[in-house]
Amino acid sequence: MPAALPWDFALILLVLAVLVPWRGARRVRSLLARETLSTADRLTVYSSTIAFQWAATAIVLWRCIARGIQLQDLGFSTAHPWRIIPVAVGLAVLIAANQLASLQRLAQLPPEKQGFFRAFSLKLLPRNSVEGLAFFALVVTVSLCEEIVYRGFVQRVFQNLAGGSVLIGIAASAAFFSLAHLYQGRRGLVGTFIAGCIFSSALAWTGSLIPPMVAHFSADALAGYLAPRWLLRARRDDPESSSAAASPTVEN
Tens digit of each residue's pLDDT (9 = 90 or more) over 68-90: 999 999 999 999 999 999 999 99
> How much is the average pLDDT of 24-44?
95
Residue 7, number of CB atoms within 10 A of its CB:
8
Q: What sections of the chain are H helices per DSSP?
A: 7-14, 20-33, 39-66, 81-108, 115-124, 129-146, 155-161, 166-179, 185-206, 210-237, 242-245
DSSP state, residue 3? P
User: Please, what is the average pLDDT of the chain?
Assistant: 90
- Is residue 92 within 8 Å of residue 214, measured between CB atoms? yes
Is 245's pLDDT higher than 50?
Answer: no
Q: What residue type is 22 in one-letter code?
A: W
Chain centroid offset of residue 7 CA:
27
Q: How far apart are CA 48 and CA 97, in angstroms?
A: 30
Helix axes 185-206, 81-108, angle to 10 degrees: 160
Does residue 164 come out as left (phi exceeding 0), alpha (psi in the -120 to 50 range) or beta? left
pLDDT in tens, 95-150: 999 999 999 998 888 888 888 888 999 899 999 999 999 999 999 999 999 999 99
> How much is the average pLDDT of 20-40?
95
Is 42's pLDDT higher than 70?
Answer: yes
Distances (CA, A) of 38 to 91, 130, 131, 228: 35, 12, 10, 15
- Is residue 169 within 8 Å of residue 159, measured between CB atoms? yes
